[in-house]
Amino acid sequence: MNKELMFSHDSTEWRTPLDFFLMLDEEFSFELDAAATEENSLCPVYFDKEDDALSDKNSWHPCKSIFINPPYGRGIGDWVAKAWHESQKGCTVVLLLPARTDTAWFHDWVQGKAEVRFLRGRIRFSDPEGKQMAPAPFPSLLAIYRPSHQRRFSNA
């Protein structure tokens, strides 16, 4: 992925920097990368496009901790909704998302339902070879969904 593509709307996929993922993995011990490809998966177990992680037939909850850097297009709300629903079955789901706090998906599925961690600065996503690119043209956040028996977070 070149710099021009990164700043265009031609791609909705943004590869997570390995050092950033490893920092999160130390805290959460991820078992599943639910939005990956064979080339960029960050966990030994992953769902790719053919697996259709959003399908009702694919439950994530056998895994205790899931990482998701979903495609950043119009379907992002579907990923966030599925993450919340799966967390209610007993798993922790961590999503790396653009900080678009004015969107319906943020208000419907993140605010008041997830622990939100706004990231300082701009993330440097990676190209297919793992080389860091220029900083993203948008801020990012982590939305962390925990199993239903754990405390709910208020973003007020």
DSSP annotation string for 65-96: EEEE----STTHHHHHHHHHHHHTTT-EEEEE
How many CB atoms are located within 10 Å of the residue 87 CB? Answer: 23
pLDDT tens, residue by residue, 89-132 = 999 999 999 999 999 999 999 999 999 999 999 999 887 677 78
Mean pLDDT across the stretch 1-26? 67
Mean pLDDT across the stretch 16-45? 93
Could you give the CA distance from residue 70 to residue 14 in angstroms, rounded to a whole number?
Answer: 8
Give residue 2's pLDDT: 38
Query: Global pTM?
Result: 0.85
Q: Looking at residue 128, what DSSP letter applies?
A: T
At residue 6, does pLDDT exceed 60?
A: no
* Residue 52, Cβ density class (10 Å: 0-12 exposed, 13-18 middle, ≥19 buried): exposed
- Give the range among 16-20, 37-41, 97-101, 119-123 with minimum mean pLDDT: 37-41
Give residue 114's pLDDT: 97
> Band of the pLDDT at 4, cuts 50, 70, 90?
very low
Could you give the CA distance from residue 3 to residue 69 in angstroms, rounded to a whole number?
Answer: 19
Could you give the CA distance from residue 109 to residue 17 in angstroms, rounded to a whole number?
Answer: 25
Give the chain's domains with CATH numbers: 3-145 (3.40.50)
Angstrom CA distances, 102 to 25, 99, 106, stand at 29, 9, 7
